[in-house]
Amino acid sequence: MLALIRAVIGRDLRLAMRRQADIVSAMFFFIIVVSLFPLGVGPEADLLRKLAPGVLWVAALLATMLSLPRLFADDHRDGTLEQLALAPQPLGLIVLGKVIAHWLVSGLPLALLAPVLGIQFDLANDALWVLTLSLLIGTPALSGIGAIGAALTLGVRGGGVLLSLLVLPLYIPVLIFGAGAVDATVTGLGPQAHLSLLGALTLGGVFFAPWATAAALRIALE
Amino acid sequence: MLEALNLECVRGERRLFAGVGFRLDAGEMLYLQGRNGSGKTSLLRMLCGLTPPADGEIRWRGAPIRKLGDEFRGELCYLGHHNAIKEELTPLENLLASARLAEEALDEDAALDALELVGLAGREDLACRYLSQGQKRRVALARLVHERRALWVLDEPYVALDTAAVELVAGLIGAHLQRGGLAVLTTHQTVAVPAGAVRELRLN
C-alpha cells in the first residue's frame, strides 16, 4: 500500500520536474500578487500588518487554484487515468498519492516563500513563523479539497472557471482559520486554537477527499 | 472463464448494440469486428469494468466482475485507444512506472530487454515526445512482453505499427494464449496469431 503511494508520488514528482514552468509560474503569481498590495496600499506599517494574513492566505488559495486543473487532465488525455482506475488497488490510494505530490510542488513551496513575502508587510518574527506554520498545516487541505473539484470538472468545457466556482467556497474555512492564526499572533492572543482547527480540517480533507475524488473520477471515465 | 451475457450499450440517446453475448475459455482469443462507431471500444470498456453495461452481465470465473472489483482488475491488462504513456518520461521510465503502479516486480534489465524486443533499443533514454506515433505505440506494447495477467483486453493493438511490429505483437499474443491466457481485441487488420483458438464477434 505504501509502496503504491510512493510510486505515484515518485511518478508525479518526476513529471513535475520535467515541467518546471508550471510550478514556477504559480510561485511567481503568488509573489507578484502579494507584492502588489504594499505598492497599492502605501507604506503604512500598521495597515499592512493588519492586511498581511488575509492577503497572503488569499494569494496562496489562488496560486493553488492555478495548478489544480492539470491535476487529472493530463492523465485523462493520454489514457493514463484509465490505467490507474484499472489498477488492482483502490483508486482512492492512488489519488492520495497524487494529492500528496500536488502538495509537495504547490503548497510546500508557497509555505516556504511566505515568510520572505511577509517581511514586506512588516510582520514580526513570531507572526512570520505562525504564517509559515499555518500554510504548512493548511495547504494539504487545499490540495485535497481541490482534487474533488478537479475530478468533478474533468472533461468539462471551460472547466477551469467552474473549478474555481466549485472549490473556492469550500476553501473558506481553511482561509478563516489560517489567516485567523496569524491575526491572533499579531494581536497577542496566541495561534494554538486556530492551528488545531486548521490541522483538523487538513486531516479530514486529506483522508476523506481521495475517496470522493475516486468516485468522481470513475464517473468521469464512464 | 470470461462470459458476457446479453450486453446492451447505450451511448447518449442511441443504442449501439443489444443482446451481445459470448464465452471465452483459457487459451482462446476473441476478435471483435465491426464498422466505425459500432461500439467495439465501448464493449471493451465494459469488459474492463470502466463503463457499466446498460443491461446484461459480465462474469469472470463465474462471478460478476462488478462484485469481484480489485480481484478482477488484478488479472486484467487493458491497452486502450490511448497509449497511456507520459510524453515527458522516457520509454524506460514509462515502462517501470506502469509496472510499479500495477505492483509488478519488473527490474530495469527486464524492462530494457522488453524495449529492445519491441525495437526501441537506443531510444530508452529519449523523452517520448520525440518519438513517432508508431514508436509510442511500441512503448505502450512493451508492457505486454512481461505481462502475465490472465486477461488481455487490447483496443486496436496494431494501429500505427509496421508489418514487422504487427507480427511481433501477434507473436506476443500467441505466446500469451499458449500459457493459457485469454485475449479480446479489436482490429481492422486480419493478422494470423500463432496458436490458440480464435473466435470472432461482429457488431452490427
Whole-model pTM: value is: 0.92
pLDDT value at residue B203 = 81
Give yes or no: residues B122 and B189 share one domain. no
User: Which CATH number characterizes residue B2's domain?
Assistant: 3.40.50.300
CA distance A2 to chain B (A): 11
CA-atom Rg of chain B in angstroms: 17
What is the average per-residue pLDDT within A145-159?
90
pLDDT value at residue A62 = 94
Q: Which domain holds residue B131?
A: 81-148
Read off the pLDDT of residues A47-93 as tens digits, 9 standing for 90 and up: 999 899 999 999 999 999 998 998 999 999 998 999 999 988 899 99
Q: Which domain holds residue A208?
A: 2-221
Taking contacts as CB-CB distances below 8 angstroms, the residues of chain A near B74 are 88
B182 neighbors B151 (Cβ within 8 angstroms) = yes
Give yes or no: residues B198 and B141 share one domain. no
Give yes or no: residues B97 and B43 share one domain. no
Give yes or no: residues B41 and B135 share one domain. no
Taking contacts as CB-CB distances below 8 angstroms, the residues of chain B near A84 are 101
Read off the pLDDT of residues B136-192 as tens digits, 9 standing for 90 and up: 999 998 888 888 888 999 998 888 888 888 888 888 998 898 988 899 988 887 777
pLDDT value at residue A155 = 82
Give yes or no: residues B110 and B166 share one domain. no
Report CB contact under 8 Å: B73, A8: no
Give yes or no: residues B1 and B99 share one domain. no
Domain boundary among B148, B171, B193: B148
Taking contacts as CB-CB distances below 8 angstroms, the residues of chain A near B80 are 79, 82-83
Report CB contact under 8 Å: B86, A94: no
CA distance B158 to chain A (A): 17
Long-range own/partner contacts, residues A43-52 (CB < 8 A, 24 or more apart) = A45/A122, A48/A120, A48/A121, A48/A122, A49/A121, A49/A122, A49/A123, A49/A186, A50/A186, A51/A121, A52/A118, A52/A121, A52/A122, A52/A123, A52/A127, A52/A131, A52/A182, A52/A186
Read off the pLDDT of residues A163-174 as tens digits, 9 standing for 90 and up: 999 999 999 999
CA distance B111 to chain A (A): 17
What is the average per-residue pLDDT within A127-147?
94
Taking contacts as CB-CB distances below 8 angstroms, the residues of chain B near A78 are 82-87
Site from B77, B82, B136 to mutate, A interface, most A CB atoms within 10 angstroms = B82
Domain count along chain A: 1
Q: Among B78, B11, B3, which residue's Cα sits nearest to residue B38?
A: B11
Give yes or no: residues B122 and B192 share one domain. no
Report CB contact under 8 Å: A82, B84: yes
Chains A and B form CB pairs within 8 A to the count of 75
How does DSSP classify residue B159?
T
pLDDT value at residue A200 = 95
Domain count along chain B: 2
ipTM comes to 0.89
